């Protein structure tokens, strides 16, 4: 097996947004994202080492649109962090809409704290502690 195949796979999301520059700015301010690269309309960002991508709406590809334009979302972004309360408060202060309040959920792996918000581009975020990742060493 080659060294590349021995590395764990990475799964990330590419969020479709109406304005990639505005979204990049918002994610930097609201969630402390760092810009990895920007191709003009397509950008790579990361939050605490977790990469995600933005792609501006392409009018020639109606199969991919932003949730705010479609009026629905089919994906919820899950973020696991040491301080979910702080992340949600910071996002709301930057213009996100509050979602479910942070509360304790009793799960097979123990108590899991989670709440959420919807960003200004229509993407729903659930933000919880790292407890679901404990079996992975997270």
For residue range 9-35, list pLDDT tens digits in order: 778 999 999 999 999 999 999 999 999
Q: Is 109 helix (H, G, I), strand (E, B) or coil?
A: coil
pLDDT of residue 5: 62
Query: What is the DSSP code string of 51-77?
Result: EEEEEE--TT-TTS--HHHHT--S-EE
Half-sphere exposure of 54 (CA within 13 A, CB side): 28
For residue range 48-98, list pLDDT tens digits in order: 999 999 999 988 888 888 888 888 888 899 999 989 999 999 999 999 999
pTM, whole model, 2 decimals? 0.84
Q: Is 36 helix (H, G, I), strand (E, B) or coil?
A: strand
pLDDT of residue 53: 97
């Amino acid at each position: 097996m080659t060294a590349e195949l021995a590395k764990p796979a990475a799964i990330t999301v590419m969020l479709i947004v109406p304005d990639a520059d505005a979204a990049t700015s918002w994610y930097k301010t609201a969630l402390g994202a760092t810009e990895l690269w920007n191709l003009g309309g397509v950008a790579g960002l990361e939050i605490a080492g977790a990469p995600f991508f933005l792609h501006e709406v392409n009018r020639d590809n109606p199969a991919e649109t932003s949730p705010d334009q479609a009026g629905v979302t089919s994906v919820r972004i899950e973020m696991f962090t040491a301080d979910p309360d702080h992340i949600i408060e910071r996002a709301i202060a930057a213009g996100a809409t509050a979602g479910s309040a942070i509360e304790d959920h009793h799960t097979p792996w123990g108590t899991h704290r989670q709440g959420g918000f919807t960003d200004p581009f229509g993407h729903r975020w659930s933000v919880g502690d790292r407890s679901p990742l404990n079996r992975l060493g997270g």
